[in-house]
Structure 1
Amino acid sequence: MRSSSFKSSVSVTHISTATAILTIDDVNFLLDPAFGNHGDFQQRDGVLLTKTDDPALGLEDLPVIDAVLLSHEDHVDNLDTSGRTMLNGRHVFTTLDGAKNLAPRPGVRGLAPWESTTVTLNGKQFKITGTPTQHLPGGECTGFVLESPSFGVNEADGLPNVVYVSGDTVHIPQLANELPKRYHVVVALMNLGKAIAPLPTGPLQITMDGAQGAQLTRDIGAEKMVPLHFESWKHFTESVEDARAELAADANIKDKVVWVVPGVKTVIV
């Protein structure tokens, strides 16, 4: 049930992969800034990843950015050289390891799972909480829950209304079980694509596919779900057509899914 106490507007502008602008009222959050054009990108661990498309917007097209939500800083499809310029002089929320690696930038704050901090951006107060993920073994990655006084409390369950950003993760019990106990999710942004990492032990799925995204949307009771991170890289193994089909096949959530057009600001609620 839509909470009438949620008094904010939420819009999403998808740029490329996980890179997007999440606009809440007059505050712009930039998610996982990566603005490089198509080509090969070498990661810190030596792995070469291939990007197949250019971003829908360039750095010069961005509005004023109030804060950056960075799921992890060690993968080039979430943060590349061009995107790193957006971290300087801004509030940045990321993992604990990421905060150390990005030092000495004073605006960077690392969050452990379920750890929270508060910040005032453009006159609006937010509580930002890190959420668990399961991504590449040995590395840190985080999702985010955003709260604000204007979001209110859901009348049906008495839980705080929130916006959830998954970061890079597969479906895990910690999210399915804990998020609906703690929060009423009004908008969920979920990273899909079924990214596969070629490990010595064999291929490992490290982001959700459409079926897992549908399952997590059901599990957490999200009112609206916005798919991200489903195109532009060769290590993504599920096409956008297959993801659309899987989400549309789930009668419980198909009307909750909002597909956004790259480069176009789309009102979600």
Structure 2
Amino acid sequence: MSTFKSKVSITHIGTATAILEIDGITFLTDPFFSPAGTGFEFAGQILKVHDNPALKMDQLPHIDAVLLSHENHADNLDPLGRQLLDGRRVFTTVDGAKNLAPRPSVIGLKDWEQREVRIAGKIFTITATPCKHWPGHECVGFIVHTDDFGVAADGKPNAIYFTGDTVYVPELARMADKYHIVIALMNLGKATFDDLQITMCGRQGARLFRDIKADVLVPMHHESWDHFKQQEPELAKEFREEGVLDSVRWPKPGVSLQLN
């Protein structure tokens, strides 16, 4: 990260919800703010969240933009989180943008589609990345880049990557051809329904981390739900076995993790 020129912090709130602060500009990932014990129907089951969010909505700083991997799963966007979308710039899937209409600031992106936008006075390029999540449902991750990040030693522009909900996808390795990924914010936990795995385990996360040649891995989305089959101890074990544990920074709920 020696060539990275911006000040970045991540504050994990719970599940896949985090504040990504870049030089004072705040992005929020996958807004979920329901209290412990709240249940949601999904795939014929009732899923209950077991932990309160580390920050309530009225404790949030000003949010400049939202990175929404998908809008149709309640553990990534609950009814409370939907309230945050109104009047804010939101990046999500094409189907998601249609379902969230009429909100004029919601932008739907296809895989690898880029959009250059001005957010709080700074020009960002947002790139949607492929996800393999629930069959037949759209989901995307995001690469966030601004020229203020600087350029890596290999000449590639520095960037930050948020995986969204996905299992390992070999195609994601191609981002390393264009960007130097300084921080990879990963949704993990090996979320599983019956025999269908829908988010990465530790080994898959480590493999993707190596594929994209990232500097720092920040895990989240591995606590609070029974369908998450790996928590921090299991993830740490697999990270250690895969040789990436020294590159991992574990966020503490509600505490700003300074990364540069």
TM-score, length basis structure 2: 0.96
- Residue of structure 1 aligned with 2:108, choices 91, 110, 131: 110
- Work out the CA distance in 2 between the residues paired with 1:43 and 1:30: 24
Query: After alignment, is 130-139 or 34-43 more displaced?
Result: 34-43
Question: What is the distance in 1 between the residues matched to 2:248 and 2:91?
Answer: 26
Contact 2:127-2:144 within 8 A present in 1 as well: yes
Out of 204, 220, 242, which is 2:196 matched to?
Answer: 204
1:222 matches 2:214: yes
Change (3 A) 1:194 1:45: closer
| Kept after mapping to 1: 8 A contact 2:191/2:197 | yes
Which of 150, 155, 160 is the equivalent residue of 2:157?
160
* Identity between Structure 1 and Structure 2 (%): 53
Dislocated runs of 4+, deviation >3 Å: 43-47
Task: Output the CA distance in 2 between the equivalents of 1:148 and 1:71.
Answer: 20
CA drift at 1:197 = 2.2
SS for the counterpart of 1:12 is strand
1:262 lines up with 2:258 in the alignment: no
Q: CA deviation at 1:163?
A: 0.3
Question: Paired residue for 1:242, among 206, 231, 234?
Answer: 234
Q: Secondary structure at the match of 1:11?
A: strand
Q: Could you say if the C-alpha distance between residues 45 and 236 of structure 1 is closer, same or farther in structure 2, counting changes exceeding 3 Å?
A: closer
Q: Report matched runs for 1:19-168 at 5 Å.
A: 19-43=17-41, 47-156=45-154, 158-168=155-165
Deviation at 1:15, TM superposition (A): 0.2
Does the CA-based 8 Å contact 1:26-1:122 persist in structure 2? no
Q: Residues 43 and 74 of structure 1 are in contact (CA less than 8 Å); yes or no, is this contact kept in structure 2?
A: no
- The one of 182, 189, 214 aligned to 2:178: 182
Deviation of 1:10 after TM superposition, in Å, equals: 1.2
* 2:259 alignment partner AA: I
Distance 2:256 2:38 in 1: 28
Distance in 1 between the 2:42 and 2:98 partners?
16
What is the total number of aligned residue pairs between the two structures? 260
- Check conservation: 2:166, 2:199, Cα contact below 8 A: yes
RMSD: 1.3
| Distance change in 2, residues 1:43/1:107 (3 Å) | farther
Q: Which runs of 5+ in 2 are unaligned?
A: none
Deviation at 1:159, TM superposition (A): 1.6
One-letter amino acid matched to 2:156:
L
User: TM-score with structure 1 length normalisation?
Assistant: 0.93
1:191 paired residue among 168, 187, 190: 187
Q: Which runs of 5 or more residues in structure 1 are unaligned?
A: none
